[in-house]
Amino acid sequence: MVRPLGGRPAFLLLSTLLILSACEGYPVQPSHGTAIRAGPAFSLGSASLYTAVDLGAGDFSQATAINLRSQIVGWGLNTHHAFLWQRGVIKDLGTLRSGYWSEAYGLNVEGHVVGQSFVSEDANWHAVMWKNGSVIDLGFPGETEARGINIKDQIVGTLLQPPPFVAFLWERGRVTYLPCLSDPCWGIGVERAAGINAAGQIVGPSLVGPPNPNGAPVHAWLWQAGIIIDLGTLGGRNSYASAINQAGWVVGWSETTLGDTHAFLWHDGVMTDLGPGFALGISPVGHVVGEADPTASGVGHAVVWKRDGTIVDLGPGKAYGMNLLGQVVGIANAGGIFRATLWSRGKCAGSPDNESEAGFVQDPCS
């Protein structure tokens, strides 16, 4: 079973039938127009330009996101607390009230951080934002998580308890619950929100049908301008969207017609197969990071699928995020001990400020 950050299942089998009336009436754009494209035959690129830096967050820590200012968030510190790392200094972000643990999943260029904090008073995880030295409870009932934040401080996440799961958009205290791909919505694990960009486009996974003996299928989706779009699959039953960049490029993973799990990149109605693996993040210029096993070692490795058709193997672990400077964050796996890690390239010290013809900021690390 695929498990996202935090250890909770991404794909849940349905055990009860629940109808979420709040999802009714939203327009859903089906995936009929989605085209599947075979990706390039990626060649193994050199990882020698990358230097791995242990962030000092302790054993079994994770680095989950990085912004243009090279600020990194995650959790660890041997206390299972969220942290913010910058220029070699790591800061414990603390917890809500009488909480024991906290986890950070995303941040924006201003250094505002989102995640979740466990509160012992009600024994629930609460969606939170760390801003200007304070930890802010987003105020949802039950168990919630916040996964992404953009420059406008728009926050996305998921209401986890009570079931069914419901994705939300939070903005200055105002909450919009997002529709699911089925009308009505079905089941316990209906949908989750995984990421948001500056334009307010949101991605995640959602169930797409009623219960059946094999469980309902899950599809990646994109929400924009009040419409939820089914991104389809690579020919298989399930897909999962994990991240989106400022250009609206979506990454994730999907089952193929043979039942294998492959990473994908979706853009303008075309889902490109990147090969076996899981795409977990995407840079502003379209380099994709995640987990794969390019050398058939039998162990998952942190990798970068570059736009030039090479795949860079960073070693055992997982990569969750990449910024415009080509810096990659994730976890390095040393004999089963995971530690928050930054992979950095020495030639990427410049300030990117040029627009390319495609509308991207040019990548100083290509």
Give the model's pLDDT for residue 190: 61
Determine the 3-state secondary structure of 245 from DSSP. coil
First to last CA, the chain: 35
* All residues at 6 or more sequence positions from 37 whose CB lies less than 8 Å from its CB, including other chains: 270, 271, 272, 273
Determine the 3-state secondary structure of 266 from DSSP. strand
CATH of the domain at 311: 2.120.10.30
Specify if 361 maps to a domain.
no
Query: Phi and psi at residue 211, in whole multiples of 5°?
Result: -60, 150
CA distance 77 to 55: 10
Nearest to 148 by CA among 87, 208, 200: 200
Tokens of 168: 């939300």
Reported residue count of the chain is: 366
Omega before 205 within 30 of 0, i.e. cis: no
Specify if 96 maps to a domain.
yes
Give the model's pLDDT for residue 333: 95
Determine the 3-state secondary structure of 218 from DSSP. strand
Determine the 3-state secondary structure of 294 from DSSP. coil
CA distance 7 to 19: 26
- Domain span at 193: 36-345
Specify if 357 maps to a domain.
no
Give the model's pLDDT for residue 211: 62
CA distance 71 to 73: 7
CA distance 130 to 194: 18
Look at the chain and report how many structural domains it folds into: 1
Specify if 73 maps to a domain.
yes
Q: What count of other Cβ atoms lies within 10 Å of the Cβ of residue 36? A: 16
CA distance 109 to 225: 23
Burial classification of residue 126, based on how many CB atoms lie within 10 Å of its CB (0-12 exposed, 13-18 middle, 19 or more buried): buried
CA distance 2 to 214: 16
Report the C-alpha dihedral over residues 161, 64, 153, 203, rounded to 10 degrees.
-60
- Cβ burial 7-24 (10 Å sphere, 16+ → b, else e): eeebbbebeeeeebeebe
Specify if 168 maps to a domain.
yes
Give the model's pLDDT for residue 133: 93
Give the model's pLDDT for residue 183: 64
Nearest to 81 by CA among 118, 134, 53: 118
Q: What is the pLDDT of residues 58-108, one digit of tens each?
A: 999 999 999 999 999 999 998 999 999 999 999 999 999 878 899 999 999
E-strand stretches of 150-260: 155-161, 166-171, 174-177, 185-186, 195-196, 202-207, 218-224, 227-232, 235-244, 250-256
Give the model's pLDDT for residue 262: 97
Specify if 178 maps to a domain.
yes
Give the model's pLDDT for residue 37: 80
Low-confidence ranges of the chain (pLDDT < 50): 1-28, 30-32, 188, 347-366
Specify if 9 maps to a domain.
no
CA distance 329 to 337: 16
Give the model's pLDDT for residue 40: 72
Specify if 3 maps to a domain.
no
